[in-house]
Amino acid sequence: MSAQILDGKATAAAIKSDLTARVAALKEKGVTPGLGTVLVGDDPASHKYVAGKHRDCAQVGLASIQRELPATATQEEIEAVVRELNEDPACTGYIVQLPLPKGIDENRVLELMDPAKDADGLHPTNLGRLVLNEPAPLPCTPNGVITLLRAHGVEIDGAEVVVVGRGVTIGRTMPLLLTRRSENATVTQCHTGTKDLSAHLRNADIIVAAAGVPHLIKAEDVKPGAAILDVGVSRNAEGKIVGDVHPDAAEVAGWISPNPGGVGPMTRAQLLVNVVEAAERAAAAL
């Protein structure tokens, strides 16, 4: 068997095309939504991701607000930029690109954000709303995973899903989204403390791999026909992405997301969705 592709690039393009029309409609009402980004330090991957976010903004007609600080920036300097964006009326929503440099208290920065402008859905208030089933901006990568599965007709309802990883941007929140009544999946969360990862994986209809361990998941770990979402990003000596999933797994799986070209573009598209939805809510309240 050779897996079918969960095409993140094409699915993200369709989402962006829909958003372009919605942004144009907002502009006709006199509202120009803007996405802000706070980027601290010189991690090349973070710079690439943020540049991609602003390219997306230009494509769909969103205004871009970019704030960059050096790796030497203090906690207070970063927090000052967050306070400024909280107050900036041109900024509909913004993100603080993670990870922040060592020594910076990331949670303190996230907590300082105005929850109404939290385009990543990572503010504690919004994470709490998600737990309570209240409306909130949804974390971009987990929401991107679900949108990608749905766009390709992969059944989530009743599926056994294994999430590998417990990081903030995906591992922690992926199970919360998947176990909502609208998704209705059964989720097992695995992590470095899991005793027999392979046994869990072999039982999964859907695997979300977000461990950041190159080629952790191999063909023999995969149930025939399963859907695999490879969210892991490691880099080889040439700086090329190496995912969590060994390429041989595609011979066993029914569906697989390429990496790059799978969940990454979906993360960016869902970020735009959060900003446009926030702008639409604000416009409706005018």
Stretch that binds ligand LMY7XDAE, among 46-54, 126-134, 190-198, 211-219 (CB under 6 A): 46-54
Kindly give the pairing relationship between strand 227-230 and strand 206-209: parallel
- Residue 229 is a binding residue for ligand LMY7XDAE (CB under 6 A): no
Answer yes or no: are the C-beta atoms of 173 and 142 closer than 8 Å.
Answer: yes
Phi, psi of 173 (to 5 degrees): -100, -20
Strand partners, 242: 234
Answer yes or no: are the C-beta atoms of 23 and 275 closer than 8 Å.
Answer: no
Strands across the sheet with 63-69, in order? Answer: 63-69, 34-40, 93-96
Residue with smaller CB distance to ligand LMY7XDAE, 97 or 126: 97
Task: Please tell me whether residue 89 adopts helix, strand or coil conformation.
Answer: coil
Residue with smaller CB distance to ligand LMY7XDAE, 205 or 267: 267
Stretch that binds ligand LMY7XDAE, among 44-52, 55-63, 125-133, 148-156 (CB under 6 A): 44-52
- Residue 48 is a binding residue for ligand LMY7XDAE (CB under 6 A): yes
97 is catalytic: yes
- Residue 146 is a binding residue for ligand LMY7XDAE (CB under 6 A): no
Nearest to 115 by CA among 127, 126, 106, 107: 126
Establish whether 96 is an annotated binding residue: no
Is residue 181 classed exposed, middle or buried when 0-12, 13-18 and 19+ CB atoms within 10 A define those classes? exposed
How large is the greatest C-alpha to C-alpha distance in the chain, in angstroms? 56
Integer Cα distance of 173 and 275 in angstroms:
19
Closest residue to ligand LMY7XDAE, Cβ-based?
264
Q: For the segment 91-110, give every residue that binds ligand LMY7XDAE (CB under 6 A).
A: 95-98
Kindly give the pairing relationship between strand 34-40 and strand 63-69: parallel
218 is catalytic: no
Out of 4, 31, 32, 52, name the contact with ligand LMY7XDAE by CB under 6 A. Answer: 52
Establish whether 233 is an annotated binding residue: yes
Active-site pick, 16, 97, 221, 230: 97
Q: Tell me the site size for ligand LMY7XDAE, rule CB under 6 A.
A: 20
Q: Which residues bind ligand LMY7XDAE (CB under 6 A)?
A: 45, 48-49, 52, 95-98, 120, 140-141, 169, 241, 259-261, 264-265, 267-268
What is the set of active-site residues? 53, 97, 120
